[in-house]
Amino acid sequence: MDNDTNPLLSIRNLKTYFEMDEGTAQAVDGISFDVYSGQVVGVVGESGCGKSVTIKSVLQIVQKPGRIVGGEIIWRVQQADGQEKLIDLAQLDAQGKKMRSIRGSEIALIPQEPMAAFSPVHTVGSQIIEAIRLHTAVSKKEAKRIAIERLHEVGMPSPEQRMDAYSWELSGGLRQRAMIAMALSCNPRLLIADEPTTAIDVTTQAQVLNLLRKLQQEHNMSIIFITHDLGVIAQVADYVVVMYLGRIVESGPVDDIFHNPQHPYTMALLESIPTVHSASKEFLPTIEGSIPHPFNRPAGCPFYPRCRSFIPGTCDTQTPSLQPVNEKQSVNCFLHHQTAVEKQN
């Protein structure tokens, strides 16, 4: 990781809600974390915890009726004269010129499903060329050269021929490589990977993870890696943010999270991972229950109905906050912090 002490991206108290006739879904409910230059931040949690909405908020691509209702998304812009400028992305017009110049150029996205992301009626090469020319003032010939170079860089076999292929003609692994090539085409400072290994087999998954780590080190990019798989996080991340029902329950360096988890939810997630020591024909530990419905959030700590360390009269009545528990980790849990009543006394 780069030694730069100023974060490249700083999210502060971000709130993204979906206001519907049935009620308001608080998809992202006041989260804060930083991403530094050259750092890989893993955001992990069960499906429905707000991971994807978080990164869509950063890119200003949250679909209606969702909208950012509070907080800041501070992006550090490198200007032409070498000076740096801080911009709050949350305040920019989603379809405005400034946001569109940042999206895809300075901050790029690898979506969950490349088959759905690529147009089926245009060749892969034409789409990469279009992305390059949209953000850089180069000729079509130069854009094609860059596109071929990027496809070669991500390990695409016969990149010149693949330029004329359609997405549906490529295997899942090759489509994912083509999507990574498109994301890297404009040399982004921050790459957001939204569960990029979900729809591919284990062997291809390992290749994609190794490729992302290699490219990150070569380009000194920052990466936000979204996944529900802690095994993937262990391979690629430097820093981990654990989310539950729109909130951060624990954050810290990857080694500390895996070897010294503090929140009951993080502990339960780690226990559910099979290991080489797991007995055969034996059920893995599971987290009882499921994530509450967004229109029926429990009072107090959102995890208390499923928590083995639930404190009656506290966890079900008061809301904890994310606070430091040691020099490196922060935890959102009453097991590690005084309750509001204790502080008043």
The 3-state secondary structure of 283-308, one letter per residue: CCCCCCCCCCCCCCCCCCCCCHHHCC
Q: What is the pLDDT of residue 338?
A: 65
Is the CA virtual torsion 44, 46, 52, 53 positive or negative? negative
**pTM tops 0.85:** yes
- Residue 145, pLDDT > 80, answer yes
Residue 195 gets the label, from left (phi > 0), alpha (psi -120 to 50) or beta, of left
* Band of residue 91 on the pLDDT scale cut at 50, 70, 90: very high
Residue entry with tokens 């820093």 = 239
Q: Residue 341 phi/psi, 5° resolution?
A: -65, -45
Q: What tokens were used for 31?
A: 């989260």
Q: What is the pLDDT of residue 69?
A: 95
- Domains of the chain as residue ranges with CATH: 9-244 (3.40.50.300)
Q: What is the pLDDT of residue 134?
A: 85
Q: What is the pLDDT of residue 340?
A: 45
Q: Residue 24 phi/psi, 5° resolution?
A: -110, 125
Q: Can you tell me the distance from the alpha carbon of 107 to that of 205, in angstroms, rounded to the nearest whole number?
A: 23
Residue entry with tokens 């801080």 = 86
- Residue 209, pLDDT > 90, answer no
CB 123 within 8 A of CB 165: yes
Q: State which amino acid sits at residue 137.
A: A
- Residue 158, pLDDT > 80, answer yes
Lowest mean pLDDT among 61-65, 110-114, 253-257: 110-114
Residue 6, classified by CB atoms within 10 Å of its CB into exposed (0-12), middle (13-18) or buried (19+), is exposed
